[in-house]
Structure 1
Amino acid sequence: MSEPAIDYRAVFQALPGMVALLTPHLVYADANEDFLRYSGRTRDELIGHYLFDVFPDNPNDPAATGSRNLQASLHRVLADAERDTMALQRYDVQSRERPGEWEERYWSPINAPVLDGDGRVVLLVHRVEEVTELIRARGRAAGDRARVLEAELYTRSRELQEVNERLRQSHAREREVALALQAAMLPAPRLTDHQQAAVRYRPAVGALNVCGDWYDLVELPGERTAVAVGDVVGHGLAAAGVMGQLRSALSAACLVSAGPAEALEVLGLYSRSVAGAESTTAVCVHIDWTALSLTYSSAGHPPPALLRGDGTVVFLDGATDPPLGARPEHVSRPQAGQPFADGDTLVLYTDGLIERRHEDIDAGLARLARSLTAHRTLAPEQLADALLVDLLPAAGATDDTALVVIRL
């Protein structure tokens, strides 16, 4: 029994959906009935004509890319001999009834090669599905959903206003607690009459008025004073609690240790038992008023600055070690000395004073040195205020700042 003969031209014309055949020069060779119907063009207007002469881009739309995207797809098929499925395209078509007017249309094209026996592309199958009505229907549905969402958002906004008011009241109460903590943990310095000192604490913008930065001054036997600043990672009352424990521990260690390095060693061992104390930085300086000398050690903290009477600035960076708890095993910390003269000024601070995002720390240290030199004649209280004005952003810092200024 012989196979029935198939009229492939009739099959082509009966194919559902818009299908056209193009030559490698992108000239229409044939088009089925659906292509003629939905494109609004006759066979004579298509066959033998260059694709983009028949369907140019809308000249009134400078952003139109339909023809460029389609041309790129067809050239890919010619070059690779592989099917190319295009993304949804807006490709406006000139109205037949109103020449000069362009109708907004959306198409989903697929382009495929037809090869000869040698594997060369001899025809291009250009299949297009028009989805204009689907896009418009989705737009109408989106508009309906937008109106529903607008009503829901209004309701939610009223609810959020009530929640925000409750949070504001809660934050006000928490701020009162924070202020009390700050007053208890960061008191004004109590030094002997011949010493002049100023301390400052500035919280980050939006934070509670106490966080993880601290300062401390401790009178030691033998005309000596211990000065320290530190910085606990984190913000809020939890960080403040850790700060209080470490500050008290360092104060006690300074009273019984042989020097600042030993005091920081003790603090590092203690920090291992304090949750949240990991990676805390601190620097401790012992001032010997009789010998006119400074002894210091740093646990990953920015270096203290010594402002001399002539305006030069020396950074005490000769004994720097990793932050507390950074080493898995105990190692002795380094210690260094620095002489000073009557009238010099010692400045300790936390990183909020000098560090800025996307900036090397050396730039911040240079700013600090310039400000110290410019205000070298000021007393500690005035110098502390001038440093904050010069170095903190006018809109408020993004990190806390603790500052100690001592006239030596």
Structure 2
Amino acid sequence: MADTAIDYAAVFQALPGMVALLTPELVYADANEEFLRLSGRTREQVVGRYLFDVFPDNPTDPAASGMRNLAASLTRVVDSGERDAMALQRYDVESTQRPGEWEVRYWSPVNAPVLGPDGSVVLLIHKVEEITELIRARSRRQGDRARVLEAELYTRARELQEVNERLRRAHAREREVALALQKAMMPSPSPVRHHRAAVRYRPAVSALNVCGDWYDLVDLPGEDRIGVAVGDVVGHGLAAACAMGQLRSALSAASLVAAGPAQALDALGLYADSVEGAENTTVVQTCMDWATHTITYSSAGHPPPALLRRDGTVTFLDQATDPPLGARPEHVPRPQAAVGFTEGDTLVLYTDGLIERRHEDIDTGLTRLAAALTRHRHTAPEPLADALLLDLLPPDGATDDTALVIIRL
């Protein structure tokens, strides 16, 4: 079997259910034999044509909503890159034998994306199960009572779909506001002083999964010192974005007056006690000093920064790790550590969306990051940031937000 090539075109045509492929512009790219048979259309009548030119709404039914509902579902799939299962639909079909006559039909559709290498939707899988005969059979067996139940079921299904659509729109608005808030509060990606820096922020693909990841770069007092922090607030949506903004601003201010990263995180921990939703936030604060060629750092439960040496070796800065903010009932001073660097080394800070995967140990993600850094060790910060996102994020899109900061030392 390993040496036998599978004819996927033949498999597609032999599928026992109704399946069609649509472009993102809702033009039929293909349809299997079962789809053509049950819809009463030929391949020439379907492939290459706009969906709703082939299957418009019944003009004799003023309450017809099948076309509108199907268009909304397919648009959601294109926009979100996620599968969408629709409620029971009545979608009448014009008879090919008797033009002008419309046959009452009931369908259960599911729409799913086919993603390209860059994560964009290149095709839509439109799978449909026709249940017209099932409903008619029940009506014949049970008479008037079945018809009443059928009408009630259809009404409830339409009501449920309308409620779901309102919820989707509300979540979409919250996502837009949260992303705008995050963008407004993030610092400029321009280099701090003369040091070469690259930053990236990638929101999760899910429309409901806007998180509280952040980064911060700030010039510190002294001859040639900068502070870089990356953090991750637990939770999603506007609440996480608001907590993120407060914590980022507080840490930025604290780092300007603190004696070092540990003291800055101490101050942030005390402040976090008064911020709703700040519990269990992870954050790492670093200070780079070019006069002494040292990186001082402290971590509150955050994945360790990676130091890429010029020779391609990677060291994870994990010698000053403490629990997340608010995880201890009593205040305990944070630990702090330091490591030397040479000109041409690269420091990489990130949030867990870059390395963590479900059902996978975090060490696997760290190993994957180290390998990618070694592979791209001669790459400048800007293209390196793009290369890491391409290498490490899932091809179908990340389920968690990702913040990434790269400093060429």
TM-score w.r.t. length of structure 2: 0.62
Match of 1:127 in 2: none
For residues 364 and 224 of structure 1, what CA distance do their matches in structure 2 show? Answer: 30
Quote the offset at 1:357 in angstroms.
1.3
In the TM superposition, structure 1's runs of 4+ consecutive aligned residues that sit over 6 Å from their partners are 139-143
Kindly provide the CA deviation profile for residues 226-280 of structure 1, in whole angstroms up to 9, marking residues without a partner as x: 1000111100000111111111110011000000000001111111111111111
Matching of residue 277 in structure 1 with residue 289 in structure 2: no
Matching of residue 163 in structure 1 with residue 158 in structure 2: no
Match of 1:400 in 2: 401
Match of 1:115 in 2: none
Contact persistence 1:181–1:210 (CA under 8 A): no
CA shift in 2, pair 1:143/1:278, >3 Å = farther
Q: Which runs of 5+ in 1 are unaligned?
A: 1-138
For residues 327 and 175 of structure 1, what CA distance do their matches in structure 2 show? Answer: 32
Quote the offset at 1:184 in angstroms.
1.2
Match of 1:382 in 2: 383
Quote the offset at 1:287 in angstroms.
0.4
Q: Map residues 240-259 of structure 1 onto 2, 5 A cutoff.
A: 240-259=241-260
Quote the offset at 1:187 in angstroms.
2.9
CA shift in 2, pair 1:162/1:342, >3 Å = same
Match of 2:294 in 1: 293
Q: Map residues 35-114 of structure 1 onto 2, 5 A cutoff.
A: none
Match of 1:195 in 2: 195
1:319 maps to amino acid = A
For residues 193 and 249 of structure 1, what CA distance do their matches in structure 2 show? Answer: 22
Match of 2:182 in 1: 182
Contact persistence 2:255–2:264 (CA under 8 A): yes
Contact persistence 1:178–1:208 (CA under 8 A): no
Contact persistence 2:192–2:217 (CA under 8 A): no
Q: Map residues 192-271 of structure 1 onto 2, 5 A cutoff.
A: 192-207=192-207, 210-222=210-222, 223-271=224-272
For residues 320 and 402 of structure 1, what CA distance do their matches in structure 2 show? Answer: 19
Match of 1:219, SS state, is strand
For residues 285 and 347 of structure 2, what CA distance do their matches in structure 1 show? Answer: 12
For residues 374 and 199 of structure 1, what CA distance do their matches in structure 2 show? Answer: 20
Contact persistence 1:307–1:344 (CA under 8 A): yes
For residues 147 and 350 of structure 2, what CA distance do their matches in structure 1 show? Answer: 55
CA RMSD of aligned residues (A): 2.3
TM-score w.r.t. length of structure 1: 0.62
CA shift in 2, pair 1:376/1:157, >3 Å = same
1:286 maps to amino acid = C
Query: Percent of pairs identical after alignment?
Result: 76
For residues 150 and 379 of structure 1, what CA distance do their matches in structure 2 show? Answer: 64
2:311 maps to amino acid = D
Match of 1:194, SS state, is coil
Match of 1:234, SS state, is coil
Q: Which runs of 5+ in 2 are unaligned?
A: 1-136
Match of 1:205, SS state, is coil
Contact persistence 1:307–1:376 (CA under 8 A): yes
Contact persistence 1:179–1:209 (CA under 8 A): no
CA shift in 2, pair 1:270/1:154, >3 Å = same
Match of 2:322 in 1: 321
Q: Give the number of equivalent residue pairs.
A: 270
For residues 401 and 288 of structure 1, what CA distance do their matches in structure 2 show? Answer: 26
Contact persistence 1:191–1:219 (CA under 8 A): no
Quote the offset at 1:178 in angstroms.
2.3
